[in-house]
Structure 1
Amino acid sequence: MHDATDMETPPRQGSVPVGSAWRIERCAALAWPAAVTEEREGWLLRHSPGVTRRRSNSALPPPAPVRSIEPVERFYRDRGVPVRVQISPAEHHRELDARLAGLGYRVESGVAVLTARTGDVVAATAPADTAPAVTAAEATREAVTPAGTVAAMAREVVTRADAAPAGAAGSVPVEVAGDPGGWLAVFADLDGHSDSETVGREVISRIAGPAAFLSVSQEGRAAAMGMVVADSGWAGVFCMATRPDLRRRGLAAAVLGAGARWAAGRGADRLYLQVEKDNLAARALYERVGFTYSHGYHFRTFP
């Protein structure tokens, strides 16, 4: 059994206030919608049958100190699934974490949440000798329904500098789509999880807010991908993946740059993303283009 001291002590540089961290988590929950969502005593309870991703089947605590976990346990036990709590921000909910550890909840999956100014990422991924060009979609405001669903957005191709290691040259075309459509096939190809098709159908297809679905093709096949969802001045970066044999060619940086340009055009001046704490290669890339540590989270699950 692990306890609260088993989790990596996060760096403090770049941390944001607790209120901002909680707002990020709320934005992320809306950007990655669960099939069933309920609010009980400040808890955000999420359940998605058939989806194995922890964030789709876990409870997000309120920002105030937690007095009772009974609503959480009842919600998940009524559905016959393990009780899972997302301890976020972990730096703020140490008492809750210790309490769950004492009740036998096991610890899972340490995650770092990083944030960046959108303009910093645009600048870091733009060609060194030219100013970033405004894409057609950034110059045209797409129609949005009252519910926030993108009603129409043309597919486009944007180009960003290949931010590969020193010595690499050239540029990477990134395709940006306003609906998942054909992008879901790219997701199923590159995601690498057994439930990829289910996630595409049950999670990604439910996204209501403005979203960009980004992909790079090389050698006639899907090479890299990402997804960006805008909400209330923030934009979340999700589903970043690069085909293993095509890594270190700047593809991920190109996707990030295209996503940042898209987000800037939707009024999002801040970006956030979630990355496993032990994924040092990905964290190095994100830090290189301007992301810094905001807060951490992990899960507690019983039984």
Structure 2
Amino acid sequence: MNDSEMLELVCARAWPPVVDEPLGDWRLRWADGFTGRANSALAVGDPGRSVAAALTAVCDFAHDRGIPPVAQVIQDSATERAVAAAGWREWTEHAAGHEVSVLVGPLPAGPAQDAEILDEPTTAWWELAADSPSPGAAERHVLSTGKVGYGVVDVDDVDDAAGVTAGAVRGAIVDGWLHVSRLAVRPEFRRRGLASALMSALAGWGRAHGAERWVLQVAVDNEGALKLYSALGCTEHHRYRYWGPGPGACEDPQS
């Protein structure tokens, strides 16, 4: 495998689905619809059969579990060209953006700012990171499996908002990498440096747990996040895109 493929596997291990079945080097993933990454086939490496046959297996897996057939494919790779040749198309329906930039950078040194990294998620963390104070089993599995740190930043005395958790972030350690995700700041507290404070605290936590670099997966149209991560020294390593079957390329045997 090349460097981009290996890094995709690191990211996949940091974002574990509920069901993860091998298809050669490919991974068939299901997490009850929670995020595209955890409910798509990770199409990296050799699937052990032709790409067209592997995509048929992707369709069967998805149909059996009631999710759309989707493949996560490194942009401009030989695999992506083979996926297109098999009659699949870019899955632009993906709400979070079907084209994603994978960013990497060294963990910055320096003291953490006014944020902390918890060993267990709080209700407020779940509310910000998973959009629900009471997430389902799939969300809990994806977001809390592995070596995970839960970053929070609280605001004490702003407009009677004492004790409010104003921001949250998730960090996961895999093979010396710190995978960063779910960075969120409540709208009323944005533009106050809270996102930077969360990232600073997370970097310190990552260094303390053996990480030297961080990796992030960010939709290419998320300009605010890309600007923040660029300021933190991150650069683009590669991109991936989500692909879905075109007409007639993935028949549901139950239809």
Q: Could you state the TM-score of these two structures normalised by the residue count of structure 2?
A: 0.81
Say whether the 8 Å CA contact 2:88–2:244 is kept in structure 1.
Answer: no
Residue 91 of structure 1 is aligned with which of 53, 66, 76?
A: 76
Paired residue secondary structure (1:287): helix
Pair 61,195 (structure 1): closer, same or farther in 2 beyond 3 Å: farther
Q: What 5-or-longer segments of structure 2 have no aligned partner?
A: 156-160, 247-255
Aligned length: 230
* Structure 2 partner of 1:6: none
Say whether the 8 Å CA contact 1:216–1:255 is kept in structure 2.
Answer: yes
| Cα distance in 2, alignment partners of residues 179 and 188 from structure 1 | 10
Paired residue secondary structure (1:78): helix
Residue 115 of structure 2 is aligned with which of 170, 174, 180?
A: 174
Residue 143 of structure 2 is aligned with which of 179, 187, 204?
A: 204
* Structure 2 partner of 1:166: none
* Structure 2 partner of 1:153: none
| Cα distance in 1, alignment partners of residues 59 and 214 from structure 2 | 33
Map of 1:7-22 to 2, 5 A cutoff?
19-22=2-5
- Following superposition, the deviation at residue 237 of structure 1 comes to 0.5
* Structure 2 partner of 1:35: 18
What letter corresponds to residue 58 of structure 2 in structure 1?
V
- Following superposition, the deviation at residue 56 of structure 1 comes to 1.3
Q: What 5-or-longer segments of structure 1 have no aligned partner?
A: 1-17, 127-131, 133-158, 161-172
| Cα distance in 1, alignment partners of residues 80 and 213 from structure 2 | 27
Residue 181 of structure 2 is aligned with which of 224, 227, 238?
A: 238
Runs of 4+ displaced beyond 6 Å: none
* Structure 2 partner of 1:117: 106
Paired residue secondary structure (2:217): strand
Q: Could you state the TM-score of these two structures normalised by the residue count of structure 1?
A: 0.69
* Structure 2 partner of 1:170: none
- Which moves more between the two structures, 212-221 or 69-78? 69-78
- Following superposition, the deviation at residue 63 of structure 1 comes to 2.5
Say whether the 8 Å CA contact 2:27–2:43 is kept in structure 1.
Answer: yes
* Structure 2 partner of 1:255: 198
- Following superposition, the deviation at residue 97 of structure 1 comes to 4.3
What letter corresponds to residue 235 of structure 2 in structure 1?
T
Pair 195,39 (structure 1): closer, same or farther in 2 beyond 3 Å: farther
Say whether the 8 Å CA contact 1:48–1:57 is kept in structure 2.
Answer: yes
What letter corresponds to residue 140 of structure 2 in structure 1?
R
- Following superposition, the deviation at residue 191 of structure 1 comes to 3.6
Paired residue secondary structure (2:85): helix
CA deviations over 1:245-268 (Å, ceiling 9, x no partner) = 211111111111111111112221
| Cα distance in 2, alignment partners of residues 276 and 106 from structure 1 | 13
Residue 61 of structure 1 is aligned with which of 31, 35, 43?
A: 43
Paired residue secondary structure (2:84): helix
Q: What CA RMSD, in Å, does the superposition of the two structures yield over aligned residues? A: 2.3
Pair 187,254 (structure 1): closer, same or farther in 2 beyond 3 Å: same
